[in-house]
Amino acid sequence: MKHAVTYELLKTDQRTKARRGRVTTPHGTIETPVFMPVGTAATVKAMRPEQVKEMGAEIILSNTYHLYLRPGHDIVKAAGGLHKFMNWDKAILTDSGGFQVFSLGALRKITEEGVEFRSHIDGSKHMLSPEKSMEIQNALGSDIMMAFDECAPYPADRNYVKNSLERTTRWLKRCKEYHQNMENQSLFGIMQGGMYKDLRYESAMQIVDLDLPGYAIGGLSVGEPKELMLDVLDDCVDHLPAEKARYLMGVGSPDYLFEGVERGVDMFDCVLPTRIARHGMAMTSYGRVNIKNAKYERDFEPLDPECDCYTCKNYSKAYLRHLYKCDEMLSAMLLSNHNLHFLVKMMGNIRTAIEEERFLEYKNEFYAKYGRF
């Protein structure tokens, strides 16, 4: 069957595995490498969709687990699907809910069938399975649906990880089986295998056979040390086909984005930029700014002198500090807008740097200014 979503490789860096590509979806194209803003409950928190579009975002994420529990995928479907419901007409990727059950829900039991859990909202009992996850994602109408997987905890013993990845592969086959009749939505597989390189290879071989348009690297950014994560990641990428999209799940701070791009990753997502914004933290060209710090009380300069976002063009650190101290809603709105703009613009600069064969130079230039991470 023709894939609804396709990846085309445009250029590979001559000195690293960094690459420039493009993902085509029924709701438009996505230039890669790309950072995808997260919109968990059908909103990128504190942002209007027009602002997310204006900064250049071409795809956002949402989530099966959250929307199934509230408001219910049947309501979103009745509204005409997630694009209509949240007034976003570009691409949407939905995560499958597995990761969120482990990280949010009160987990009850994992069986071959799926995962039993209690809702973190009202404690009611639920069951997510590959089929249920696909039914929900189909109702939501996302362009890219993630397979229902288990993200093994870290650390986890080798035997557990091996059994878990093999079940995740069986679940992927059930997702693909169920997906047959959804021509406007594509399914991405997810590689697991913990921090065990041989199990990562095993997982990759099993899922690549299914010839999907894109593959995610799951099971990382789960508390492991940075060097371990990067070492395993470096290996994982080599086992995925060059002509398919590669998505590293849950990664989104500047340093990890540069390191991921350098190792051949095309797509990233993370709640970080909007989450730290709500805690008064901003990402700037010169490192992180903690706006509640007293040193900004009379600092009438913008957050980032090199940023052209709405926040940096119109407000000072002193004002932003004041808003945060007063717990004003505008604080989260302005800092979220800046942080997302910062990452989306940074990825645009990375794409240009790859095109101009100067990715490493740009990375070093960025690191020099950003200071310690």
Has 269 been annotated as catalytic?
Answer: yes
CB of 5 to ligand 0O1, least distance (A): 17
List binders of ligand 0O1 among 196-235 (CB under 6 A): 218-219, 221-222
Q: Is 189 among the residues that bind ligand 0O1 (CB under 6 A)? A: no
Give the integer Cα–Cα distance in Å for 245 and 33.
Answer: 10
Is 180 annotated to bind ligand?
no
55/272 with CB nearer ligand 0O1: 272
Residue 307 among known ligand-binding residues: yes
Which three-class secondary structure state does DSSP give residue 309? coil
Q: Which H/E stretch holds residue 147?
A: none
Place of tokens 């990890």: 256
Residue nearest to ligand 0O1 (CB): 250
Q: Cβ-count burial of 177 within 10 angstroms (0-12 exposed, 13-18 middle, 19+ buried)? A: exposed
- Tell me if residue 235 is catalytic: no
What single DSSP character describes residue 90?
S
Q: Which residue lies nearer to ligand 0O1 by CB, 69 or 222? A: 222
Residues 323-352 that bind ligand 0O1 (CB under 6 A): none
Q: How many residues bind ligand 0O1 (CB under 6 A)?
A: 23
Find out whether 309 is annotated in a ligand binding site. Answer: yes
Pick between residue 61 and residue 91 the one whose CB is nearest to ligand 0O1: 61
Beta strands in the chain (DSSP E): 6-12, 19-25, 28-32, 34-36, 59-63, 91-95, 106-110, 115-118, 125-128, 144-146, 186-191, 214-217, 245-248, 267-269, 281-284, 287-290
Task: Report the site for ligand 0O1 in 248-287 (rule: CB under 6 A).
Answer: 249-250, 269-272, 275
Q: Is there a contact between 116 and 153 (Cβ–Cβ < 8 Å)?
A: no
Nearer to ligand 0O1, 96 or 319 (CB): 96
**Residue 329: half-sphere exposure toward Cβ, Cα within 13 Å:** 3
Residue whose C-alpha is closest to residue 323's, from 291, 285, 355: 291
**Closest distance to ligand 0O1 from the beta carbon of 173 (Å):** 16
Which position among 13, 143, 266, 269 bears the catalytic label? 269
52 lines the binding site for ligand 0O1 (CB under 6 A): no
Candidates 13, 95, 143, 304; catalytic one: 95
Dump the DSSP string for 250-264: T--SHHHHHHHHHTT
Provide the mask over 140-179, with x wherever binding to ligand 0O1 is found by CB under 6 A and - wherever it is not: ------x--x-x----------------------------
Stretch that binds ligand 0O1, among 46-54, 90-98, 121-129, 301-309 (CB under 6 A): 90-98
d(CA 280, CA 151): 30
82 is an interface residue for ligand 0O1 by CB under 6 A: no
Cα distance between residue 198 and residue 270, in whole Å: 27
User: Is 338 labeled as ligand-binding?
Assistant: yes
Of 3-11, 23-31, 91-99, 109-117, the segment contacting ligand 0O1 by CB under 6 A is 91-99
Give me Rg for the CA atoms of the chain.
20
| Burial (Cβ within 10 Å: 0-12, 13-18, ≥19) of residue 124 | exposed
Q: Is 67 in the site for ligand 0O1 (CB under 6 A)?
A: no
Per the annotation, binding residues are 95-99, 149, 192, 219, 307, 309, 312, 338
Q: Which residues are catalytic?
A: 95, 269
Chain residues in the site for ligand 0O1 (CB under 6 A): 38, 40, 61, 63, 95-96, 98-99, 146, 149, 151, 190, 218-219, 221-222, 249-250, 269-272, 275
Q: Return binding residues for Zn(2+).
A: 307, 309, 312, 338
